[in-house]
């Protein structure tokens, strides 16, 4: 797996504690070693984790090594990004994207949270 620097790798064993029980909203990238778009996302996730770490936890889950979580959330394509808040998935996005777009989509899923100078609208 293309481990993004500064991004925690989670597994089936620790997903509940690291993601579902997290105090912050969590962006999970479901990824795989064989996925070229996933490798392209590594620097984007590293930058996001470094810049937004106080407001957002960023983690990666290798789908090939963690089938239980992958199947539980019906992940079929890589990369899939899911935003979790309060233990629940609130947004799912499929495919590589630039950092600005990923930030906008995460902000849309987290009303009231400020990312990149913009406040997401309340839903």
Residue 119 to residue 11: CA distance in whole angstroms: 31
Tell me the residue length of the chain.
123
pLDDT of the residue at 34? 95
Contacts of 10 (CB under 8 A, 6+ apart): 18, 19, 28, 59, 60, 61, 66, 69
Residue 2 reports pLDDT greater than 70 = no
Q: Is 69 a catalytic residue?
A: no
- Output 69 or 1, whichever has higher pLDDT: 69
Q: Report the percent of the chain where pLDDT is more than 70.
A: 89
Among residues 35, 49, 61, 110, the one annotated as catalytic is 35
Residue 85 to residue 55: CA distance in whole angstroms: 12
Confidence of residue 82 (pLDDT cuts 50, 70, 90): very high
- Output 116 or 12, whichever has higher pLDDT: 12
Q: Is 85 a catalytic residue?
A: no
Alpha helices (H) along 7-66:
15, 36-52
Among residues 26, 38, 82, 83, the one annotated as catalytic is 38
Please give the distance of CA 8 from its chain centroid, rounded to a whole number: 10
Residue 119 reports pLDDT greater than 70 = no
């Amino acid at each position: 797996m293309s481990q993004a620097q500064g991004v925690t790798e989670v597994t089936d064993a620790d997903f509940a504690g690291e993601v579902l029980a997290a105090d912050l909203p969590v962006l999970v990238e479901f990824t795989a070693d064989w996925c070229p778009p996933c490798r392209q996302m590594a620097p984007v996730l590293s930058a996001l984790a470094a810049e937004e770490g106080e407001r957002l936890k960023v983690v990666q889950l290798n789908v090939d090594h963690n089938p239980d979580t992958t199947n539980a959330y019906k992940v079929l394509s890589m990369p899939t990004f899911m935003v979790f808040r309060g233990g629940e998935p609130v947004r799912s996005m499929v495919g590589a994207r630039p950092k600005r777009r990923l930030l906008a989509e995460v902000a849309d899923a987290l009303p009231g949270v400020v990312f990149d100078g913009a406040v997401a609208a309340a839903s």
